[in-house]
Structures are given as C-alpha cells and as structure tokens.
A and B are shown apart, each in its own frame.
Chain A
C-alpha cells in the first residue's frame, strides 16, 4: 500500500527550539507539499517542492524552511519555534501533473 509517512505524530517543543518534521513518500512522486491545518482556516500551503533540491514558497512560508535532498523525503524546519506555530502539519505528495494529493496522517505540534 503506497503511502506518505510522517515520522512524528505528536510533538511538544519549547519556544525557541529548532524543530524538524520529516515526511517520506514511497510513490516516486515529483511533487511534495507541506500544509498547516488550523480550525476554521482549512489547509494553508507553507512550502512545496517539484523536484529534488527545488523549493517554492507557498502562502505562509514565514518562520519555516524546507529541505529536499532526496526525491522521497521532504523536511519542514522551524528554526526557532514560536507559540503561533502550534498546529497540525500535513505533508502530501503528487505525481508530475498536479493531480490527486496523497496525504500523510499529520504531525500535531504544540509549542509551549
């Protein structure tokens, strides 16, 4: 069963800590995405990548960076976590044409 795996389901971090959220897909998809999900706001795109070592800003990139060193792995980095980054983070991937997105189960981050 093909899938997108987010290694951390729940994290609790302190303000100012560096946070890594990892995402791996086994479908050989070109495109990978990071969204954050907040109640009443739906999904907002943070960053996406359409190829290895390529990255593009989404709607809300401030406070985040990403890394895509290998095709199957897309990491979201919070250099200095803040309380307003407490959220559910969803990783997704899709094949070359933007088509159906396959989502991971999500990583719920709490920043204290």
Chain B
C-alpha cells in the first residue's frame, strides 16, 4: 500500500510493556522514526533507527526493524502513566517525511 499504517489505539496497565507496530512503504527510506505527541503539543522525536540496523535500544525504548516485511515496532518497557500519548511512526521520502495515523497509548494505573 501507499500509506504508513499503524493501529489507532493501545491500552496497557502501568508497569506492563507496550508494543506499538507500524508498517511502512518505502524500502529505500534511510531512517525510520518514532515521534511522540502529548496532549496539546506538537510532535517530538522519540527515537529513530538507521535502515541498516535491526534493533536499537535506548533506556526503556526498543525499536525493532524488519526490512523484509517493512515492519517497525516500538517497545516501551515498564510503561508509566506519563507515557500516555499518541505515537507516530514516520519514514523519510525524497523531499518530505510520511507519517502514520498515530497510535493513542493509554496507560491505566
């Protein structure tokens, strides 16, 4: 397909792991990104992965990349209520960046 696809909603309990999945479209994308949007704010870069990597870990965040299936995932360990936000995956194109629809993560106490 032509769209970057993500599921729209995810709900987890505090302390559990969250996994947000994304399917992207352009196999030539150099970088793939995860952005976080908190209520009333713009998007902030959370993490990114270079396309020649399979995995990247950054504290509680783990990004997995499966280039063959064009599948990207973001795992948040020990999810906290402050992690509640909308998470967007994005791929670079020649002149711009293409975003998924965003996954709204709700963390229940």
Interface residues of A (CB under 8 A from B): 4, 33, 35, 40-43, 45, 48, 50, 56, 58, 90, 92, 94, 98-106
Contacts and interface: CB of A to CB of B under 8 A. Distances in A.
Interface of B: 4, 8, 31, 33, 35, 40-45, 48, 88, 90, 92-102
A96 B9 CA distance: 34
Given A56-B95, A98-B92, A42 B33 contact: no
- For the residues of A in contact with B, the DSSP-based class is strand
Contacts of A94: 97
Contacts of B97: 33, 94, 98, 101
A32 to B, nearest CB: 11
18 contacts: A35-B99, A40-B8, A40-B101, A41-B101, A42-B99, A42-B100, A43-B88, A90-B43, A94-B97, A98-B92, A98-B96, A99-B31, A100-B48, A101-B45, A102-B45, A103-B35, A105-B40, A105-B42
Contacts of A4: 42
Given A40-B101, A42-B102, A90 B42 contact: yes
